[in-house]
A and B are shown apart, each in its own frame.
Chain A
Amino acid sequence: MSETGDRTGDPIRRGLAEPDPASANPMRRTTLLRLAALCGLAGAGELGFNVDALAAASAPKGAAAAPELLTRDELRLTGVLADLIIPRTDTPGALDVGAHRTVDHLLKVCALEPAQAAYRAGLARIDAAAQAQHGKRFVALTAARQVALLQALDAGGAPFAPPDQGFFRQLKGYVAFAYYTSEAGASQELAYLAVPGGFKGDVKVTRSTHTWAI
């Protein structure tokens, strides 16, 4: 795939360059705005969530809540990776629901030092691979290059090694956990029944059937 220049590579700018067709739908925007409020994302505007969430993640000190464990760069990288793993579609994506902040929080509170260190080392390997191949940090690459690097990581191929697949599984597990236990992930993307009211052993799967969140 030919390089088209890094100016469109940052997800912030991708968001600008590719208007979300769904934003024309007022119903959906309302839903998203409500979601923004629920997730504590300030000022979700015309450009959708990626912008705000990333801005929060990458803002200068004092402008946004500091990460709990990660550095601001690591949080930002986590956000970009979360967005690539579970992007916004007809429902919010992982970045929209602040999965990167949830991952940061859970790493800080619910993981011990070895898991924290393994995670940060994994992020560093991704950035090192981006630097080695393209001379830039991962977040500064074009979307196409980011995807290509993650595909290599997923397969354990060059520039990564097979053991790096383990990190990608860890990362996908964290992002999936953060996303599918969020309100939008559980109840919009998947099907969430807090009080099913009884057990039915056999229901037919239709086009509109979604996986149960719990």
Chain B
Amino acid sequence: METKQTFYIKSTPERFDAIVVGSGITGGWAAKELTERGLKTLMVERGRPVEHGVDYIGENRDPWTMPNRGKVDARVAEEQFSIQRQCYAFDEHTKQFFNNDRDMPYSTPDNRPFSWIRGNQLGGKSLMWARQSYRWSDLDFEANLKDGHGVDWPIRYADLAPWYSHVERHVGISGSKEGLAVLPDGEFLAPFEFNAVEAALKQKFDAKYAPARMIIGRTANLNTAADHHLAEGRAPCQARSQCHRGCSFGAYFSTQSSTLPAALKTGRLRIATDSIVHSVLYDPKTNRATGVRVIDAETMETREYHARVVILCASTLGSTAVLLNSTSAAFPNGLANSSGVLGHYLTDHLWAAGADGRVEGFEDHYYQGRRPTAPYIPRFRNVVDKHPDFVRGYALAGGAAREGWQSAAYKPGFGKDYKAMIRKPGPWRFGLGGQGEMLPRYENSVSLHPTKKDKWGMPLLHVDVSHGDNDRKMRKDMADTAANILEYLGLKDVKAKMATEEEYPPGLAIHEMGTARMGRDPKTSILNGWNQAHDVPNLFVTDGASMASGAWQNPSLTFMALTARACAYAVDQMKAGTI
């Protein structure tokens, strides 16, 4: 592998074959595919470099060695991370991987909060993602066509299936083969185990609710490592479940553990960090993107990088913000936006609705290690029967655990007996929470703020998102149904829980999708079935911005498959001379 000095660049006169904007889950995949297919590629990242292992400063730290035992300084959190602090993965071990909200503001309408969780470093959110990895099926790709919400996807499952396999083999997904139509099987490593309570509840659930089924969540952690993972320097998961601090075992998929080493191995990758993409350069004479203009995050200087093809992987809202800011006489409302739909049809997943309760018995069962995944019930609504209140559906995810010291505040008493009680594993609890599909609606949109700018002079993104009628009805059903299931399973003290939109704003599922959607018709979509801009053929958007709908599965695996497929297509088109 090359040394740092050779692959990190700032200014260069070189014209690259390809520029990839972003270095997260999709940027890493684009870099790997393009370089392995022979393209001299520049990866442009707005944040700082993060070196695998070396820069995981929160890893391998026992709680008593942390200045605040894992908690974040309240004033720092309030002043610099007012949004990021809402993320479950944000703590004293991980805060360096989250963007600084004071430096990177955005705007929302007063009464419609949106929580935008962002990474700001090489590797992006691949460093602290939740790793759940699922294929979509034709139930999802055909949904828009069948119920009329959103434009028809220009692809079907068969188009993506080989690319799912392609990325799964490299990533390493631990999961079980189930033969479910709604959740196609993939190339799996050995699944993680259920604990005793989950195994018993699964048996009861499957018998009652078939064809619905409780499975163990498919996750991008190497429960077992294949030979090629070991050869890449990755080791099996140690069940610390502290993935978001960074893992020097390389046991979960991140840019640093997986795609970046592969891309660097080719010798064809260059990386420009601290480089905020201002806009995509466009030549109206040839109708081609010619590169990107960037602002240096530290010096504020601007510079340009040039290439034959530009791939945007800057995150859903990041990529769309770049396009909106890339204006010209030919595209006054944003590059590749002749349709006018750029920025529209933003979705996130419906979240924070479910139920939990207490499980009696199983006192002599416990578990060892911290499993980096949890049980998962794939979608069952509107698969066979039609629900009277809403279209589409949701997954339920959750799991069982024994209460520990974390519930000490609510235990009665104090003193020796109290201490002795906490020393013993507490009662079992089991819960399920929904993750539902939000319908793509035109009014859920992002735009550039007309006057406000950030410290680099970039216009702020204005995000305007709210749940619609279908969304609200589905969330209610997520909570009610989870509670009904738990009652049937025999739990005690079952409580349904549903946060309000103020308590849990859209965005916090961190599955924002859409705003530069794929479609068959250039009049109503930005990208074609190859993630290629209808208007500008050497411009691709392969991250979540490209999604024509959001489905109910965690989307990252689909972003990866789309990216690999689009990059292979781009290389073929370049070789054929069409772009």
Contacts and interface: CB of A to CB of B under 8 A. Distances in A.
Interface of A: 84-87, 89, 93, 102, 105-106, 109-112, 147, 150, 154, 169-170, 172-173, 176-178, 180-183, 186, 189-190, 192-205, 209-214
A212 B368 CA distance: 8
B88 interface: no
Given A177-B69, A181-B70, A199 B364 contact: no
Contact of A85 (B71, B194, B415): B415
B196 A202 contact: yes
A170 B426 CA distance: 20
Given A89-B419, A112-B78, A211 B402 contact: yes
A108 B25 CA distance: 38
Contact of B69 (A84, A106, A112, A196): A106
Contact of A110 (B72, B193, B236): B72
Q: Which of B192, B363, B418 has the most C-beta atoms of chain A within 10 angstroms of its own C-beta?
A: B418
Interface size class of B (residues with CB under 8 A): 35 or more
Q: Which of B63, B70, B75, B237 has the most C-beta atoms of chain A within 10 angstroms of its own C-beta?
A: B63
A88 B211 CA distance: 54
A81 B413 CA distance: 13
Which 4 pairs show the lowest CB-CB distances between chains A and B? A173-B409, A201-B193, A196-B369, A176-B408
Contact of B409 (A170, A182, A211): A170
Given A84-B414, A176-B405, A198 B239 contact: yes
B8 interface: no
Contacts of A177: 69
B420 interface: yes
Given A189-B423, A203-B365, A211-B426, 6 more contacts: A150-B414, A180-B405, A180-B408, A196-B369, A200-B193, A201-B371
Interface string B394-417: 000000001011001111111110
A182 B369 contact: no
Interface in B57-102: 60, 62-64, 67-75, 78
Contacts of A84: 414-415
B74 A112 contact: yes
Given A177-B69, A201-B194, A154 B414 contact: yes
Given A87-B416, A193-B368, A201-B195, A109 B68 contact: yes
B409 A172 contact: yes
Interface of B: 60, 62-64, 67-75, 78, 192-196, 198-199, 223, 236-240, 363-371, 402, 404-405, 408-416, 418-420, 422-426
A201 B367 contact: yes
B419 A211 contact: no
Contacts of A186: 62-64
B424 A209 contact: yes
Contacts of A201: 192-196, 198-199, 367, 371
A194 B370 CA distance: 10
A22 to B, nearest CB: 14
Given A172-B408, A194-B62, A209 B416 contact: no
Nearest to B410: A169
A109 B73 contact: yes
B423 A211 contact: yes
Contact of B366 (A109, A176, A196, A203): A203
18 contacts: A109-B71, A110-B68, A112-B78, A150-B414, A181-B70, A186-B63, A194-B60, A196-B238, A197-B238, A198-B238, A201-B196, A201-B198, A202-B193, A203-B367, A205-B425, A209-B424, A211-B425, A212-B425
Q: Which of A180, A198, A203 has the most C-beta atoms of chain B within 10 angstroms of its own C-beta?
A: A198
B462 to A, nearest CB: 29
A106 B67 CA distance: 9
Contacts of B238: 195-198
Contacts of A111: 74
Nearest to A147: B415
B397 to A, nearest CB: 17
Contacts of B416: 87, 89
Contacts of A211: 402, 404-405, 422-426
Contacts of A214: 63, 370
A170 to B, nearest CB: 7
B71 A172 contact: no
A200 B238 CA distance: 11
Given A169-B409, A172-B414, A186-B64, A205 B365 contact: yes
Contact of A198 (B237, B410, B414): B237
B73 A110 contact: yes
A189 B70 CA distance: 20
A112 B75 CA distance: 8
